[in-house]
Amino acid sequence: MSYLVFARKYRPQTFESVVAQEHVTRTLRNALKNDRIGSAYLFCGPRGTGKTTVARILAKATNCVNGPTETPCGECPACVEITAGSSLDVLEIDAASNTGVDDIRTLRENVRYLPTGGKKRIYIIDEVHRLSGSAFDALLKTLEEPPPHVIFVFATTEPLKVPETILSRTQRFDFRRVSVDDLASHLKSIARQENLRVDEASLNLLARKADGSVRDALSLLDQIAAFAGDNISEIDVVSALGLVDRRFLFKFVTSVAKADKAEALHLIKELFEGGVDVGDFVAELLDHLRSLLVLATDENAAELLNLPDAELNEYKTQAVDFTVGDVLRLMKMVADLNADLRSGLDQRLLLEITAVKMAELESTVRLEEVLARISSDAEAPGAAPAEDTGQPDIFAEPSQKKNPLGRAAGQPPVPDETRPTADPSAYSRSINLAQVKAGWENFLAYLRNDNRMLASQLSMAVIRSVQDNELVLVFSGAVEPSLQLVSKPENSGLITRLLREHYKANLRLTVERDRNNSQPAGDHDEGPSAGINSGDLVKRSPRLKKLLKLVDGEIIGVKKIQ
């Protein structure tokens, strides 16, 4: 026996086995049960959602030896012939190849004949919108007064092209695009019957690629099974179908968030060398940005995405780097790219241009926020005039003696006369978490040139978040002295000023203690040094007192040395 593809092998034969079209099957079953079968039906919906399949099941339910019944037996001669496609009482007509008025006139002549063995003659006309205007006119009279032994079932993917005169004489059923969850569940059931081991990520990827079509999903599963055998992984699906790996999408969008144009161009090169279809990449990128848009709008709207928990957490982490305005502008760029790809220009060039434009995109700033900031600066007491580009008062510090090895703890920063300072209000650029992390090591080096000790202490902090240009740094309890040092107003002021200079953004600094590890490291120490007061220590050690006076410093903590 020849091989039967999954799409035909697992074609539903009963109303119960139809996937995700319960609103249609329930109505038809009730009509059959109550003997309220109509003379003409119009099945609308995307491809592969079950229109022709349901039409055949309706034909079996009508002509079954037990019919009309909502559960055809599938074993009587009528059911077997309809399943095999050889029944003389069920005629399937392709409107795409029978569009003329003469074809419909022939059909009008044939409807007068009684069924050969069943109770009804069922005419299934697929893609009915392809009929010509004159053919629809010829069909209209038959639909107005059909013979009692005839049922018409029209199927179409474009109901708007069907004349209103035809629509008004049929019962319309709209078949819905099948959700990713329903498709993945259906594929899992079939894989189990075929003894295929497929992981959840692969099933979800196949379901998304099928775009709501059960037939397409089964064809893809058939193709992957031929490629990978009985064990199918996500890598097999990506390789066999030439799809875009979701990890690649995360890497590309991260390069955009970091404003790393070089990495974005490198990823485009990797995309082309991997042989990925450009159209698929653009479609997947738009879908990726759509997920970020949903989460940027409302991070609790996860039910709109139909994503597994692990993947959803990755999206939530990345969504923090963008505002709603950012994502909308990125989506507009990708949509424009999709239109430009049809122009015939070099696809790689268009992708590279778009990638650089996306990476160079400045964060969205609302006009209301800019006006509020200007108003706030103007009303601030003692605000510098607009033409004054000198250092703000908040950062002004008296000149003090500088330690050759860097400033000691507690020493105020000395303004660097050789480096111009800018009014923080001059920086209107917004910045995100990815950009701060990407430039953090360079910033620490920038700070080290000014104060090595402070840079060393700041390197022990962990970047928690960046929201509305507020940088939150977290210190664990084990580095409590570093937290105290960085928190000093003169030190936090220096760090803030250098942050703004380095990132060219009006950043604000917030330093916090890690709530999950808030216990200072020395609290559980035992021995002589466990309860030593720093003031007592200075009194008992003249040499230490002299050292502190020499460097103009102070003791910020005492730790026991094992």
Res. 392: pLDDT tops 70: no
The Cα–Cα gap between 462 and 482 comes to 12
Question: Rounded to a whole number, what is the distance in angstroms from the first to the last CA of the chain?
Answer: 80
Cα gap 193→202, rounded to integer Å: 17
Supply the CATH number for residue 24's domain: 3.40.50.300
Strand 462-467 and strand 470-475: pairing? antiparallel
pLDDT range class, residue 173, cuts 50, 70, 90: very high
* Side-chain-side CA neighbours of residue 528 (13 Å): 3
Domain end: 174, 199, 224, which one?
A: 174
Q: Is the pLDDT of residue 227 over 80?
A: yes
Nearest CA to 29 among 68, 84, 81, 83? 68
* Number of domains forming the structure of the chain: 4
CA separation for the pair 197, 200 (Å, rounded) = 10
Q: Which amino acid is at 458?
A: L
Same domain, 167 and 208: no
Would 398 be classed as within a structural domain? no
User: Measured between alpha carbons, how far is 462 from 464 in angstroms, rounded to an integer?
Assistant: 6
268 in a domain, yes or no? Answer: yes
Predicted local distance difference test score (pLDDT) of residue 512? 84
Q: In this structure, are residues 44 and 172 in contact, taking their beta carbons and an 8 Å threshold?
A: yes
Provide the token pair at 175.
Answer: 């078949």
Q: Is the pLDDT of residue 549 over 80?
A: no
Span 147-153, average pLDDT:
92
H helices of 416-488, where?
433-438, 440-448, 452-458, 480-487
Q: What pLDDT was estimated at residue 52? A: 93
Report d(CA 183, CA 177) in Å as an integer.
10
Least confident of 43-47, 147-151, 255-259, 525-529: 525-529
What is the per-residue pLDDT for 407?
Answer: 39
Question: 95 and 59 in one domain?
Answer: yes
Q: Are 92 and 126 in contact (CB under 8 A)?
A: yes
H-run or E-run covering 377: helix 367-379
Q: What is the pLDDT of residue 195?
A: 92
DSSP string, 57-100: HHHHHHHSTT-S-SS--S-SHHHHHHHHT--TTEEEEETTT--S
Using 50, 70 and 90 to split pLDDT, how confident is the model at 386?
A: very low
Radius of gyration of the chain (CA): 36
Q: Which of 36-40, 182-186, 373-377, 549-553 has the lowest mean pLDDT?
A: 373-377
Q: How far apart are CA 261 and CA 435, in angstroms?
A: 12
User: Domain check: are 194 and 262 in the same one?
Assistant: no
More confident residue, 555 or 336: 336
For position 387, what pLDDT does the model report? 43
Is residue 156 pLDDT above 90, yes or no?
yes
| pLDDT-based confidence at residue 552 (cuts at 50, 70, 90) | low
Give the domain range for residue 122: 6-174
Q: Decide: helix, strand or coil at residue 403.
A: coil
Note whether residue 79 is domain-resident.
yes
CATH code of the domain covering residue 229: 1.10.8.60
Beta partners for residue 121, in sequence order: 150
68 upstream amide cis, omega within 30 of 0? yes
- Asked whether residue 370 carries a pLDDT value surpassing 50, the answer given is yes
- Of 108-112, 218-222, 228-232, 544-548, least confident by mean pLDDT is 544-548
Rounded to the nearest 10°, the torsion over CA 260, 265, 266, 272 is 150
CATH code, 447? 3.30.300.180
Q: Regarding predicted confidence, which is higher, 242 or 319?
A: 319
**Strand 197-198 relative to strand 40-44, pairing:** unpaired
Residue 234 is predicted with a pLDDT of 85
CATH code for the domain of 299: 1.20.272.10
State mean pLDDT over 471-493.
81
Which of 293-297, 449-453, 503-507, 554-558 bottoms out in mean pLDDT, i.e. has the lowest? 554-558
Q: Has residue 368 been placed in a domain?
A: no
Give pLDDT, residue 172: 94
Same domain, 11 and 102: yes
Say whether both 481 and 443 belong to one domain: yes
Residue 227 covered by a domain: yes
Domain boundary among 325, 359, 393: 359
161 and 14, same structural domain? Answer: yes
d(CA 60, CA 54): 10
Quickly state the pLDDT bin for 221 (edges 50, 70, 90): very high
Q: Are residues 20 and 153 in the same domain?
A: yes
Q: How confident is the model at residue 146 (pLDDT cuts 50, 70, 90)?
A: confident
Contact 89, 116 (CB under 8 A): yes
* Number of neighbours of residue 193 by Cβ within 10 angstroms: 10
Within a domain: residue 437? yes
Say whether both 302 and 208 belong to one domain. Answer: no
Mean pLDDT of the 93-111 span = 82
Please indicate, yes or no, whether residues 102 and 165 belong to a single structural domain of this protein. yes
- For residues 154 and 263, membership in a common domain is answered with no
| Share above pLDDT 70 across residues of the chain, in percent, rounded to a whole number | 78
pLDDT one-digit tens code per residue, 109-122: 888 888 887 789 99
The per-residue pLDDT for 235 is: 86
Q: What does the pLDDT read at residue 558?
A: 55
Residue 379: inside a domain: no
What is residue 553's predicted lDDT score, i.e. its pLDDT?
Answer: 60
83 and 113 assigned to the same domain: yes
Q: Which pLDDT does position 463 carry in this prediction?
A: 86
What is the distance between the alpha carbons of residues 61 and 72, in angstroms, rounded to a whole number? 5
Q: Which of 89-98, 119-128, 245-254 has the lowest mean pLDDT?
A: 89-98
Instruction: Specify the pLDDT at position 534.
Output: 57
Q: How many residues does the chain have?
A: 562
The type of residue at 362 is E
Average pLDDT of span 507-518? 75
**Pairing state between β 171-174 and 40-44:** parallel
Whether residue 561 is contained in a domain is answered as no
**Ordered DSSP codes for 241-276:** HTPPPHHHHHHHHHHHHTT-HHHHHHHHHHHHHTT-
At residue 548, the pLDDT reads 63
The values of phi and psi at residue 40, to 5°, are: -150, 135
48 and 215 Cβ atoms separated by less than 8 Å:
yes
pLDDT band (50, 70, 90) for residue 382: very low
- Residue pair 83/60 in contact by the 8 Å Cβ criterion: yes
Of 76 and 362, more confident? 76
When comparing pLDDT for 520 and 100, which is higher? 100
* CA 395 to centroid of chain Cα atoms: 43
Instruction: Give the pLDDT score at 557.
Output: 56
| Chain segment 409-443, per-residue pLDDT in tens | 344 444 443 444 445 455 666 788 888 888 888 88
DSSP state of 304: G
Q: Do 98 and 114 have their domain in common?
A: yes
Helix, strand, coil percent values for the chain (each to nearest 5): 55, 10, 35
Measured distance CA(503)–CA(463) in Å, rounded: 15
Of 174, 204, 229, which residue sits at a domain end? 174
**What distances in angstroms separate CA 134 from CA 85, 163, 462, one per listed residue?**
29, 11, 74
In this predicted structure, the answer to whether residue 498 has a pLDDT above a threshold of 60 is yes
